[in-house]
Amino acid sequence: MGDYFTTHDIALMLNVTRVTVRNWIIKGRLAATTTPGGHRRISRRELTRFMEDNNYGAEIIREYELTRRKRFVYCWEYHHKGFVNLAHKHQCSDCVVFASRAQRCYILNEENSHKGVFCQTTCDECGYYKKYFAHNG
């Protein structure tokens, strides 16, 4: 994704309507530039500031970019479909993450304390987690 977001992007990210995002802009809570066609664009820096000021998690932007701007890769796809060595020991077909088609396996892992989640490693050791979700400082 680029350095700017549309009002539609931000509405999807923050689970609000585009009208709400437009109102934030009109009220001066969120700074935006206007394209020659009249569309509003919000810089990544401004969106990050807005999110910090309003207690939104910083990871929302990254997760949005992973799930909305390109095809999302599920953990079982990563482990089974040529992303990594197929000699792993994951039992994905029996896993609650696979059964629920969850996009954030690490959340289910945290909530269930590995009950029904058939990971052979911790999230911090998992190649999938490191590649798609771990924050690099």
Domain boundaries, given as residue ranges, for the chain: 4-68, 75-132
pTM greater than 0.85: no
Closest CA to 133 of 75, 93, 94, 55: 75
Q: Which CATH class is domain 4-68?
A: mainly alpha
Q: For all residues of the chain together, what is the average pLDDT?
A: 79
Provide the 10 A C-beta neighbour count for residue 32.
Answer: 22
Give the span between the Cα atoms of 84 and 97, in whole angstroms: 19
Does pLDDT of 71 surpass 50? yes
How far the first Cα of the chain sits from its last, in Å, is: 20
